[in-house]
């Protein structure tokens, strides 16, 4: 097989410019806010991995059980033609592996493309998977899947775009609709979309996942301040911010925040920006929306997809939805 193809849609300078814009805009807004993606530097990614192993954090275990137990059914639902698989936010491509294995066992895995912002990680994954799937064409996309979906590979196979891990719930309502419209525009009729989503359940179960007893979520949330200290020469004192996770029953959304526990003045030297905090002032650091099955299927239909199937774990905590582009 040829060497993996790499499509680079952004580089470190793009990421740095986006970080500066996010920080300046977010910390001068009222209320202050920072996007979820800023949590995931190397330290943040390691902390998130630790978070997924906490007993309260059901999301990763539940979704992996769904994919493991239903991989053959998911692969079978895609028809009999060769499939090219693209995973958005692939990371180490661990979530998608049961599906890749099931399609490969059927002799239909034509290609796999991890799509992520971290070039080094994309390259590492392609190197690792070359041994696991020697007969599949491998390529990677280094980019932001909210901006670069037009770069999805199109070699005329049927495509399966996978978006797992519940990240879809980190978008606002408008962002979800725009993402789905952009994705549908990038696909051909007959292509597939596999979406992992966190389902509405007992709020106490949800809140516990964002307030684990070991405090890993709290440290993960505060990591955004370490990122700003490291990347923008800021002087945040993260321990002076309290981790807050609130449940909004009307919108079925977890709202994550960092609350100042004392008055502070913070200098972001790289931006020539001074930011003050009063006691109790908060930085909104992300949301995580939970979904009813019918609600999410209606969103898919409204943006040009036909829902085909949904698989859940035995407790109904997570759902994996399969839809086809019309």
Integer angstrom CA distances of residue 176 from 86, 284, 296: 19, 19, 10
pTM: 0.96
Helices 12-27 & 216-232, crossing angle to 10 degrees? 110
Cα 129 from Cα 124, distance rounded (Å): 9
- How many distinct structural domains can be found in the chain? 1
Model pLDDT, residue 5? 87
For Cα atoms 49, 52, 53, give the angle at the middle one, nearest 5 degrees: 95
Q: Do the domain assignments include residue 257?
A: no
Q: Do the domain assignments include residue 99?
A: yes
| pLDDT tens by residue, 152-168 | 999 888 999 999 999 99
**Inter-residue contact 160 to 194 (CB < 8 Å):** yes
In which domain, by residue range, is 148 found?
1-224+291-326
The mean per-residue pLDDT over the stretch 46-50 comes to 89
| pLDDT tens by residue, 222-272 | 999 999 999 999 999 999 999 999 999 999 999 999 999 999 999 999 999
The mean per-residue pLDDT over the stretch 300-313 comes to 98
Q: Do the domain assignments include residue 258?
A: no
Q: Is the pLDDT of residue 12 over 90?
A: no
Q: Is the pLDDT of residue 44 over 90?
A: no
**DSSP-derived 3-state class of residue 230:** helix
User: What string of H, E and C letters represents the secondary structure of 95-128?
Assistant: CCHHHHHHHHHCCCEEEEEEEECCHHHHHHHHHH
Cα 27 from Cα 86, distance rounded (Å): 35
Name the pairing type of β-strands 305-312 and 318-325.
Answer: antiparallel
Residue 133: give its domain's CATH number: 3.40.50.150
pLDDT tier for residue 40 given thresholds of 50, 70 and 90: confident
Cα 14 from Cα 147, distance rounded (Å): 12
Percent of the chain's residues with pLDDT above 70: 99
Model pLDDT, residue 2? 66
Q: Do the domain assignments include residue 136?
A: yes
Q: Do the domain assignments include residue 110?
A: yes
Cα 289 from Cα 184, distance rounded (Å): 21
Q: Do the domain assignments include residue 28?
A: yes
Q: To the nearest whole number, what is the mean pLDDT of the chain?
A: 95
Q: Do the domain assignments include residue 210?
A: yes
Q: Do the domain assignments include residue 154?
A: yes
Tokens linked to 30: 């009222």
């Amino acid at each position: 097989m040829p060497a993996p193809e790499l499509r680079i849609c952004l580089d470190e300078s793009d990421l740095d410019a986006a970080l500066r814009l996010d920080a300046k805009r977010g910390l001068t807004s009222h209320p202050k806010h920072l996007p979820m993606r800023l949590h995931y530097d190397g330290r943040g990614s390691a902390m998130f991995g630790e978070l997924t192993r906490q007993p309260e954090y059901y999301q990763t275990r539940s979704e992996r059980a769904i994919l493991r137990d239903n991989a053959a059914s998911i692969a079978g639902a895609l028809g009999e033609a060769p499939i090219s698989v693209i995973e958005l936010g692939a990371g180490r491509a661990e979530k998608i592996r049961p599906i890749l294995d099931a399609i490969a066992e059927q002799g239909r895995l034509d290609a796999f493309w991890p799509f992520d912002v971290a070039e080094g990680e994309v390259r590492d994954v392609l190197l690792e998977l070359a041994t696991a799937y020697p007969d599949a064409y491998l390529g990677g996309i280094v980019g932001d899947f909210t901006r670069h979906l037009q770069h999805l590979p199109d070699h005329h196979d049927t495509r399966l775009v996978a978006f797992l891990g519940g990240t879809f719930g980190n978008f606002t309502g408008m962002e979800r609709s725009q993402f789905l419209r952009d994705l549908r525009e990038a696909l051909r009729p007959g292509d597939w979309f596999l979406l992992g989503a966190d389902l509405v359940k007992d709020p106490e179960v949800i809140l516990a996942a964002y307030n684990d007893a070991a405090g890993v979520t709290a440290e993960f949330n505060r990591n955004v301040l370490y990122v700003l200290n490291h990347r923008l020469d800021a002087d945040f004192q993260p321990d002076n911010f309290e981790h807050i996770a609130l449940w909004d029953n009307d919108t079925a959304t977890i709202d994550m925040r960092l609350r100042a526990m004392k008055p502070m003045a913070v200098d972001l030297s790289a931006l020539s920006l001074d930011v003050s905090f009063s006691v109790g002032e908060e930085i909104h650091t992300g949301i995580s929306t939970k979904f009813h099955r019918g609600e999410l299927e209606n969103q898919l239909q409204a943006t040009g997809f036909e829902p085909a199937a949904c698989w859940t774990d035995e407790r109904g905590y997570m759902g994996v939805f399969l839809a086809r582009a019309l």
